[in-house]
Structure 1
Amino acid sequence: MAYKHKNNVSLKTACCSLEENKKESIHNQTECCTTDIDAESHDGHNHDHDDLKEKENVFRLFLPSIISFVFLVVALLFDNYFPQSWFNGWIRILWYVVAYLPVGFSVLKDAFQSIRKGAVFSEFFLMSVATIGAFGIGQYAEGVTVMLFYAIGELFQMMAVQKAKSNIKSLLDQRPDTANVIYGTTVVSKRASEVTIGEIIELKSGEKLALDGKLLSDHATFNTAALTGESKPDSKSKGDSILAGMINLNAVSQIEVTTAFTDSKLSKILEMVQEATAKKAPTELFIRKFAKIYTPIVVYLAIGICLIPMLFVDDYVFKDWLYRALIFLVISCPCALVISIPLGYFGGIGAASKNGILFKGSTFLDIMAAIQLVVLDKTGTLTKGVFSVQKVVAIGISEKDLVRYTAAIEAKSTHPVGSAIIEFANYVNNNTVVTEVTEIAGHGIKGFVDGNEILVGSPKLMKKFNIDYDSELDAIPYTIIVVAINKKYSGYFLIADEIKEDAKTAIESLHKINIKTIMLSGDNQALVLAVAKELNIDEAYGNLLPEDKVEKVTAFLNQKSKVAFVGDGVNDAPVIALADAGIAMGGLGSDATIETADIVIQNDQPTKIFTAINIGRKTKQIVWQNIGLAFSVKLLVLILGAGGLATMWEAVFADVGVALLAILNAIRIQRMKF
């Protein structure tokens, strides 16, 4: 299918782009990314067969290194422990050449291709010059050893990249190729890309949904881990939105398709994650630029180490100083930096994806690490965005009758507050007689239920009909629905947008890492302050229009603070675009907001804001640890090499050893729990 090819190219590019000079290949036999990601899982292959195939691929990757290692070990045994009369002269040289070629040929080829493209000072060039130079001065074993360890290091680097991509691959595995479409009494399996909006899909227990849709069945339970990172089952009712990638956990369900295959939330998530790997962080870009300057400098320094001493050293021996220069070249190879740093950011993006957070580029990991102020929208971000009855108080009547009368008359209304009461009452019209219902604009509703006159509305409605009620209700910031039966105050309903379960924990977590929190909302100031007080938010501003929010965030940015804004609605898109880091709630969020955002929280949990900041900080910490490790070890061994105190073995450690240590450090973030 077309989308598979697109994903494959994109992800292979992400892998290969970890070092600019490796765009063609790390080694020809490796094809840069080992296997094509889209060939796995989508075609329904047996997992045991896939595991066996993967082991075979790994063996094939290491086969050239194994051959080289065997020839090298035999040569060292003949040279040092079991001398052979025939193992000398051109036969000995040829033996070492045979040991060198399995691991060295592809590097020599890549060096030649880089030079043809104008990139003379690549790491391939450095390794080629150093190892060929070692052959030139008779250090055959060391020449082969350097190239062998370099090749093994490259393979481990590539396997680390594959490990870092496992979270993205698991996302790809969540999107089925086909869907079972109902046509009358028959069910036809179709390609998901060919299913049109309005068609009805049959989803059996254990199956994954291929397209976004609306549940037609009365009830269903789904595993939403592909989209949210959460394994907790999510129960849905008739009319609820169901997203591609969700897995049906109970009886057969019917879903009406509402979005084209390429426009589903999961498809967009995949695109965002793949695009994220191509967007470089400032540190990453700096290292790339640095390597382009650094590498030519060390080449010229190596030439100087070889030739300049002849001007002032009395017992100058060209072969000895050339050996020092070659050691210098091996040590100077920048692969520890150029590989491990992008891998660190790649790992950060993968760790975030695993936790249900999508970073649209590694640069936003750096930004989140520096955030000082988090500005949050209220509705849909800190609250659930759904009105519900929080409290019922009955006066002179049973609570059951108050709820029944109110729900009966609200069933004739279209107001969203009325819907909350009907849902709370679980109201079904069981021969209840409702007559003469009248909407009183801006006040409420009037009518008769089983012959009783019912007034339902705001306190203003009570004032309009001169009905005495508890005046303390006027001071409550939440929505109050007052009820009068037969001109007598009979109680009230407190209706509010329910605060998310983890909202308070989210604010507390941010405060623990010294991040200030501010809430902006279009709701009335009293309500906003009440929510802010309950959650312990530092500052809160209500009665704001979208342009007012922009003005507020601009003022925060002018204070030179690093600002993250978190929102979900269309009206939040301008502010999300303005902030240093725009964060969208991906479940409830509008498409415009998600498209504009730099970071998307898939499960709408406010605590993920803290997780995103934590991942950003850990990623930056690991990146700078690698920079410090690489520079300190290389500088030390460079000095020793130039002074003749380090051999090619120390050079191998300073290059490949440090690179492997940095890589192991970089992939730690994928194993961390956030």
Structure 2
Amino acid sequence: MAHSHQQHHGHEHPRQPVGGCGGCPGCSCESTGLNLTGPEEKSWVWKDHWLLIASALLTLCLIVIDAIDQIDLSPYLRVPLYVAAYLAAAYPVLLEAGRELKAGNVFNEFSLMSLATFGAFYLGEYAEGVTVMLFYCIGELFQDAAVDHARRSIKKLLDIRPDRVTVERDGQTATVQAAEVKIGEIIRIKPDEKVALDGVLLSPQADFNTAALTGESKPDTRRAGEPVLAGMINGRTACTIRVTAAYADTVLSRVLHLVEDATARKSKVQLFITRFARIYTPAVILLALLIIAMPYFFVADYQFDQWFYRALVFLVLSCPCALVISIPLGYFGGIGLASRHGVLFKGANYLDALRQIDCVVLDKTGTLTRGVFKVAELIPAEAIDPAELLAGVIALERHSNHPIARALLEFAPQADAGVKATDLREIPGRGLEGTIGGRQFQLGNPHWLAAEGIAVAPVSLETPQTVVALARDRQYLGCIIIADELKPDAKQAVAGLKAAHLQTVVLSGDRGTLVEALGRELQVDAACGDLLPQDKLAKVQALVDAGHKVAFVGDGVNDAPAIALAQVGIAMGGLGSDGTIEVADVVIQNDQPSKLLTALQVSHLTRNVVVQNIALAMGVKGIVLLLGGFGMATLWEAVFADVGVALLAILNAVRLQRQKLS
């Protein structure tokens, strides 16, 4: 539960009402979140409710005895036994009703059930009175179990951080608390051990299971210098990691806090149901009084007990617990389901908001592409050997830290064997100049070479990708095309969004020709490049002003303003900036754009479950309430309708947590 009624009213309760504060009609507490980080609550077991079991057994025996004509139980024994059975089941409810009444909360489900069962005893319907309370309490237990299951399933998902690590200090290894390890220290990860802290890999290579963070169980191979995140599980080879973040600042810690916050943020439906319950309960009590009083003026043969009984049926049926617990459970289930598949919703309200979008705006670099340069093609000039072209390029780029230089070196690390460049000079924004074997070389933007009077090939000027061209003694030798590699699932993601009838737009700060080419490849509705952060913001604002419900997906600091403006901001959380993740409403942990489809599917599934529960609860109760008003339903039907509908709604909500996604 988010917090106890004790914290709100200043007294201790014998048991928590279902749904936490805010789920109970008449309670003024606001939160309906699940406490995931507080002290572990003891899971309920049947032996903790022996009084309820005893009440059920005694009531069953008394009902059987009443049904046997040969047994005539004395009223002096029969009534006390029913009272004993009633008190055994009802004492927590009666205590709760008394405390709520003392706190000024007259209209709540506890007083409602107490009134209904007292009325049954007044009419001599002892079996019905006890059974109403008994089934209500059993229903409460099942609801408590469902809430407990929702909280534990999310907590189990998140409770994956080992608290102790093996750290290297002064040439020795020691096992210490993970929170004590400082940034820059080196920790050892044993085979099959969970990583406790974010860091960079020092070992040459290691395989990790990233399912806890990304929802993907496929092993992820990391090499020296690449990041390793808390929550990953090491493969079969021991490795070492240099710590880059404190225990409280790891990616996994951020995930934990995001999901904690998510369970406390209500959707519009939850907020409506909370307000509705506070109006609903006093309204049905007033209607019950009218059911008793109004017929006196219009019915010739008015019998108080008859209309009083109908009012009791009405009261029992009017209990809104199926609504106030199954709807939050539905949203908790959706948040947990998404988390297991590597998507974090920061609140139930964003589950609803994502379902309503009609336009998805995507950043390019880091969202649709890997953000890592790769050599796509070598195009040597006529009569030039490709190896000669490559050797000259690598010799000039050997000592550069530019991303393009790294891509070239990874493509052909030994291409410049025996070749040495001297007198290197960088021309800012243009390229490099240097001497190789006494001859002058120029490497860089082909437009720069063309401006210098060098006859470069048209292909180097026309291609939308990044191009580096090489000239020797002002003679063009060829060019190399560098491409930012498209993520493997980018096409799948865009195709899925279009299949869902969503407009797709790509906005990027990269060159317009490059972005437009990418847009044509992905078949998006619009693609625009050469945008500064304020330009992206203006584009998103224009879409919003045009009446679109926009989701913006990005990863960089420059995307943060647009993410904040969109109806739903979605951040790529694996490599995304902290600022972007902070302002986003949804975080995709493994940077896969196809997880957008997962998020959309979860939002629709959650909405379906919530709507089904509302329709079920309101529909069945409405029908039986009408029958009860005309005397066609008894307390037996009322209690079965109330508890039965509540249990069906709860089971439907719990089903969502186990849903398999396509």
Work out whether the TM-score is over 0.5.
yes
Distance 1:265 1:428, change over 3 A: farther
Cα distance, 1:639 vs structure 2: 1.1
* SS of 1:236 mapped into structure 2: strand
* SS of 1:564 mapped into structure 2: strand
Equivalent residue number for residue 249 of structure 1 = 235
Q: AA paired with 2:241?
A: I
Q: How does 1:163-562 map to 2 (within 5 A)?
A: 163-395=149-381, 396-427=383-414, 432-449=419-436, 454-463=441-450, 466-485=453-472, 488-562=475-549
- Output the CA distance in 2 between the equivalents of 1:37 and 1:341: 23
- Output the CA distance in 2 between the equivalents of 1:610 and 1:79: 60
Equivalent residue number for residue 69 of structure 1 = 56
Q: AA paired with 1:127?
A: M
CA deviation profile, 1:82-140 (whole Å, cap 9, x unmatched) = 7545x322321221222223321111111122222222111111111111221221111
- 604-613 vs 429-438, which moves further: 429-438
8 Å CA contact 2:34–2:260 kept in 1: the answer is no
8 Å CA contact 1:16–1:23 kept in 2: the answer is no
Distance 1:112 1:428, change over 3 A: farther
* SS of 1:198 mapped into structure 2: coil
CA deviation profile, 1:606-658 (whole Å, cap 9, x unmatched) = 11112212221221222122212211211111111111110112101321111
* SS of 1:222 mapped into structure 2: strand
Equivalent residue number for residue 602 of structure 1 = 589
Q: Does 1:78 align with 2:65?
A: yes
Cα distance, 1:171 vs structure 2: 3.1
Q: AA paired with 1:312?
A: F
Equivalent residue number for residue 658 of structure 1 = 645
Among candidates 555, 568, 579, match of residue 592 of structure 1: 579
CA deviation profile, 1:59-83 (whole Å, cap 9, x unmatched) = 3355443222211111112111275
- 272-281 vs 113-122, which moves further: 113-122
- Output the CA distance in 2 between the equivalents of 1:146 and 1:409: 86
Q: Does 1:104 align with 2:108?
A: no
* SS of 1:165 mapped into structure 2: helix
- 454-463 vs 257-266, which moves further: 454-463
Equivalent residue number for residue 10 of structure 2 = none
Distance 1:23 1:309, change over 3 A: closer
- 230-239 vs 368-377, which moves further: 230-239
- Output the CA distance in 2 between the equivalents of 1:524 and 1:305: 74
- Output the CA distance in 1 between the equivalents of 2:200 and 2:194: 15
Equivalent residue number for residue 16 of structure 1 = 20
Distance 1:193 1:90, change over 3 A: farther
- 479-488 vs 532-541, which moves further: 479-488
Cα distance, 1:33 vs structure 2: 8.9
8 Å CA contact 1:348–1:669 kept in 2: the answer is yes
- What is the aligned-residue identity percentage? 49
Q: AA paired with 2:23?
A: E
* SS of 2:264 mapped into structure 1: coil
8 Å CA contact 2:27–2:108 kept in 1: the answer is no
Distance 1:148 1:421, change over 3 A: same
- Output the CA distance in 2 between the equivalents of 1:602 and 1:185: 36
- Output the CA distance in 1 between the equivalents of 2:86 and 2:391: 87
8 Å CA contact 1:341–1:666 kept in 2: the answer is yes
- Output the CA distance in 2 between the equivalents of 1:411 and 1:13: 69
Q: AA paired with 1:230?
A: E
Distance 1:402 1:62, change over 3 A: farther
* SS of 2:505 mapped into structure 1: strand
Equivalent residue number for residue 47 of structure 2 = 60
- Output the CA distance in 2 between the equivalents of 1:492 and 1:299: 83
Cα distance, 1:232 vs structure 2: 1.3
Among candidates 92, 113, 120, match of residue 106 of structure 2: 120
- Give TM-score scaled by structure 2 length: 0.92
Cα distance, 1:260 vs structure 2: 1.4
Equivalent residue number for residue 44 of structure 1 = none
- Output the CA distance in 1 between the equivalents of 2:287 and 2:19: 32
Cα distance, 1:575 vs structure 2: 1.0
Distance 1:473 1:38, change over 3 A: farther
Unpaired runs of 5+ residues, structure 2, are 8-15
- Output the CA distance in 1 between the equivalents of 2:495 and 2:488: 13
Distance 1:626 1:582, change over 3 A: same
8 Å CA contact 2:167–2:176 kept in 1: the answer is yes
Q: AA paired with 1:211?
A: L
- Output the CA distance in 2 between the equivalents of 1:258 and 1:672: 37
- 95-104 vs 521-530, which moves further: 95-104
Equivalent residue number for residue 130 of structure 1 = 116
- 89-98 vs 461-470, which moves further: 461-470
8 Å CA contact 1:371–1:613 kept in 2: the answer is no
Distance 1:160 1:105, change over 3 A: same
Q: AA paired with 2:457?
A: D
Equivalent residue number for residue 29 of structure 1 = none
Q: Does 1:573 align with 2:560?
A: yes
- Give TM-score scaled by structure 1 length: 0.90
- 469-478 vs 565-574, which moves further: 469-478
Q: AA paired with 1:19?
A: G
Cα distance, 1:147 vs structure 2: 1.4
8 Å CA contact 1:340–1:659 kept in 2: the answer is yes
Equivalent residue number for residue 28 of structure 1 = none
Equivalent residue number for residue 13 of structure 2 = none
- Tell me the C-alpha RMSD between the 2 structures: 2.7
* SS of 2:408 mapped into structure 1: helix
- Output the CA distance in 1 between the equivalents of 2:657 and 2:437: 64
Distance 1:35 1:172, change over 3 A: closer
- Output the CA distance in 1 between the equivalents of 2:133 and 2:37: 27
Cα distance, 1:487 vs structure 2: 5.0
Cα distance, 1:167 vs structure 2: 4.1
